[in-house]
Structure 1
């Protein structure tokens, strides 16, 4: 007589587990807005950018790079500041965070170029790079009162596994030390780039909070349908990750606001797949009065 009870108990526990898994996996929208700032030295300030009080807002300082101050030689994980630190200083970080409780500030690592050439990920060894990176970035994070890091290396002199170990261990150590509360990656659709970031995702994806996928690296003139296809493809590549929708504010690539970016985002929102929006960059948006920043945040702030 005990056997059916046992089966019933197992069945009941399985049912609870399955329903819990479904609840956990259910897609949902986010009110997260992120914007890169400071790479182009055109005097843009945090206070220039409109901030909707009803979104979670992340500024991402661009960039800290492990090159010497002249930008000519790699330094094996010893990071220096290459953003417009005159206008985006520690006191200005404190000021904007003090005035706006919904604002966090992160720093992006790497970027496309430095000192007139490409910024390469060039570790001497995993252990030495991680040690130097943890030390130098902890110093910058403390000085600037930062909340997170973003990984935006785009050129590599290390193989995918080395990249995965260096970046994965860096994120893990900074999180374990309480130096940061979130981390993101910023890949785009290029074979070499994807091979490195997907290796990182496979080994350390559970430590990565957001995927700032550079959808603007696709061809200029991307259609709404193409964008939605690209979004599904990259959501599958970074399975389980919060892939954000994105555009470039100078209109040089991808799906632009004029051509239907917000139509695509509304569609994602209706499917409960809009994990947030990010823009490259505040420096370029300054010229158009940040009109698309306002529009992005308005869309995100609509209750979901």
Structure 2
């Protein structure tokens, strides 16, 4: 009789455990809205951007780059400097916007497409030296600016995928372990060389990466809703288990634009519990149209449209 009771108890525990795993693994929507800001020096301020109190809002300062100046000819082995519009996006302004809005966090993005008139390359003399320099220089900037997280947006490389994966993976791991940051994201796009680098990073350190800011605006102009949904499915498979955010650009970039069905595609993903968030490139470009699509995107995430 006692054995029977024990057996039944074990069955119940197993059923509860499996149920819990299924709940944890179930797809869920998110109210996360993210926006890059400061790369184009158009005098945009945090306070210019509308902030819906019913979303999780991340500003992403663009960019911190391991070059010395705009005229530098080569990377500086992990010694990062500020290349965003720090006059309008200063440490005091970061503190102010976070104090005014409890739902706002601020991150910085590493790399970007260019520096001065050339590409911003990822390069390292060695994994250990790059990580040491990066941890030191970024910790200083993150603490100075009261930041919460980092985003990885390198787009050009003078290193093999394994070196990139080890450098970035160890950087994120160390910053999290030191409690310097609470979240990290990556920003790949559909290019064979770029994907090789980021997928190598994902395979080894995906458990340290909280969001995938996939640059869907890097796809061709004229992308349709069905194509967009297919791209989302493909990248969700590539970054299996990751929270792939959907995106559009308010500049002249490609992809699926808001006036061509982007929000229709979002509603479809939302109905399938796959809308992990929306991000926009960028506030600098959106200023000209009064941040119309920022308001619409946040309204959708907050269930207000």
Deviations 1:144-165 (A, max 9, x none): 0000000000111111111111
| Whole-angstrom CA distance in 2 between matches of 1:48 and 1:157 | 37
Secondary structure of 2:111 counterpart: strand
Secondary structure of 1:138 counterpart: helix
Contact 1:72–1:114 (CA under 8 A) maintained in structure 2:
no
Cα offset for 1:303?
A: 7.5
Cα offset for 1:4?
A: 6.1
Cα offset for 1:101?
A: 1.0
| Whole-angstrom CA distance in 1 between matches of 2:122 and 2:17 | 43
Residue 54 of structure 1 is matched in structure 2 by: 54
| Whole-angstrom CA distance in 2 between matches of 1:144 and 1:252 | 30
Residue 25 of structure 1 is matched in structure 2 by: 25
Residue 14 of structure 2 is matched in structure 1 by: 14
Residue 40 of structure 2 is matched in structure 1 by: 40
User: Kindly tell me: are residues 257 and 303 of structure 1, through their superposed partners in 2, closer, same or farther at Cα, counting changes over 3 Å?
Assistant: closer
Residue 277 of structure 2 is matched in structure 1 by: 276
1:180-199 equivalences under 5 Å are 180-199=181-200
TM-score (norm 1): 0.96
Deviations 1:97-146 (A, max 9, x none): 11111111000000011121111101000000000000000000011000
| Whole-angstrom CA distance in 1 between matches of 2:46 and 2:125 | 36
| Whole-angstrom CA distance in 2 between matches of 1:217 and 1:125 | 31
Residue 235 of structure 1 is matched in structure 2 by: 236
Deviations 1:248-301 (A, max 9, x none): 012420000010000000111111111010000001101111000000000011
1:1-304 equivalences under 5 Å are 8-69=8-69, 70-302=71-303
Deviations 1:17-65 (A, max 9, x none): 2211111111111110000000001111111111111111100000000
Secondary structure of 1:244 counterpart: strand
| Whole-angstrom CA distance in 2 between matches of 1:182 and 1:31 | 16
| Whole-angstrom CA distance in 2 between matches of 1:84 and 1:189 | 28
Could you list the runs of 5+ residues in structure 2 that have no partner in the other structure? Answer: none
| Whole-angstrom CA distance in 1 between matches of 2:97 and 2:19 | 42
| Whole-angstrom CA distance in 1 between matches of 2:36 and 2:202 | 22
Deviations 1:171-196 (A, max 9, x none): 01000111001000000011111111
User: Kindly tell me: are residues 81 and 282 of structure 1, through their superposed partners in 2, closer, same or farther at Cα, counting changes over 3 Å?
Assistant: same
Cα offset for 1:72?
A: 2.6
Cα offset for 1:9?
A: 5.0
| Whole-angstrom CA distance in 2 between matches of 1:251 and 1:278 | 16
| Whole-angstrom CA distance in 2 between matches of 1:3 and 1:215 | 57
TM-score (norm 2): 0.96
| Whole-angstrom CA distance in 2 between matches of 1:182 and 1:212 | 13
> In angstroms, what is the RMSD of aligned CA positions?
1.5
| Whole-angstrom CA distance in 2 between matches of 1:179 and 1:66 | 19
User: Kindly tell me: are residues 93 and 71 of structure 1, through their superposed partners in 2, closer, same or farther at Cα, counting changes over 3 Å?
Assistant: farther
Contact 1:213–1:243 (CA under 8 A) maintained in structure 2:
yes
Cα offset for 1:94?
A: 1.1
